[in-house]
Amino acid sequence: MEADITSQAVGLSSNTDFSLVSLFLRADIVVKSVMIILVAFSIYSWAIIFDKIRLFRKINKSAEEFEEKFWKSKSAETFYNNLPSATNDPMAEVFKSSMQMVMKSRSKSNLSERLEGVLEANIEKQMTNVDKNYTFLATVGSTAPFIGLFGTVWGIMNSFQSIAISRNTSLAIVAPGIAEALFATALGLLAAIPAVIAYNKFSNDSKKYSQKLENFSKRFISII
């Protein structure tokens, strides 16, 4: 009798380890798969977040430097001829592509209208590159909580099955399975919350930068 009680105590104590690694290892294959997917989503989301932070710092700084040099130049053609062949600045690329059209254009009639269309197309092209991977952030923000909830529901179902099989409603029996299930929800929120915040912030930054390109385009058309 004492041996049975001791063995039960040992079994219960082995299940009371609630470290993150233990929760993952004790989970079944479905819940483990959910956890792995959510961790992968989170890692890739943070990679995008850090990349976008660097990108916006870079293009905002380079745009300020470009505009300062442009408005100090003698003419748009002179400034264009002095630009390096390869640039990583979206504003510089918009200017170069548009200036090439101006220099190749033989007819000066309706030049401002044609230039406006070219500028809009070039801005849209550059903003497509800036907005890259926004869809992934939005997808993670909207789906990760539901994926985590699926893992939680599945884990709780397994816990109830364990209760039915063992016919024991002790908290020591129920708690490990519920903890594993709730861990999946926590991972879902951990992946979703930064993705949503980053998506909203970067969308706002993109709108501001797009407006900056449009303002430059209007001023550029006025001098042409």
Contact 99, 76 (CB under 8 A): yes
Most confident of 1-15, 33-47, 107-121: 33-47
Tally of CB atoms within 10 A around 87: 14
Res. 141: pLDDT tops 60: yes
Q: Round to whole Å and give the CA distance between 54 and 221.
A: 30
Res. 172: pLDDT tops 90: no
Per-residue model confidence (pLDDT) at position 169: 64
Q: Give Cβ neighbours of residue 89 (< 8 Å, ≥ 6 apart).
A: 59, 62, 63, 66
Average pLDDT over the chain, rounded to an integer: 82
Per-residue model confidence (pLDDT) at position 223: 77
Query: How far apart, in Å, do the first and last CA atoms of the chain sit?
Result: 97
Per-residue model confidence (pLDDT) at position 43: 95
> pLDDT grade, residue 32 (50/70/90)?
confident
* CA nearest to 102, candidates 90, 116, 91, 88: 116
The rounded percent of the chain whose pLDDT value lies above 70 is 81
202: exposed, middle or buried (C-beta count within 10 Å: 0-12, 13-18, 19+)?
buried
* CA nearest to 214, candidates 119, 75, 90: 119
Per-residue model confidence (pLDDT) at position 189: 94
Of residues 196 and 86, which shows the higher confidence score?
A: 196
Least confident residue range of 1-5, 50-54, 112-116 = 1-5
Res. 12: pLDDT tops 60: no
> pLDDT grade, residue 78 (50/70/90)?
confident
Mean pLDDT to the nearest integer, 151-161 = 82
Res. 22: pLDDT tops 50: yes
Res. 9: pLDDT tops 50: no
Q: Round to whole Å and give the CA distance between 6 and 9.
A: 5
Mean pLDDT to the nearest integer, 59-82 = 86
Assigned token pair, 174: 């129920």
Res. 93: pLDDT tops 80: yes
Per-residue model confidence (pLDDT) at position 15: 52
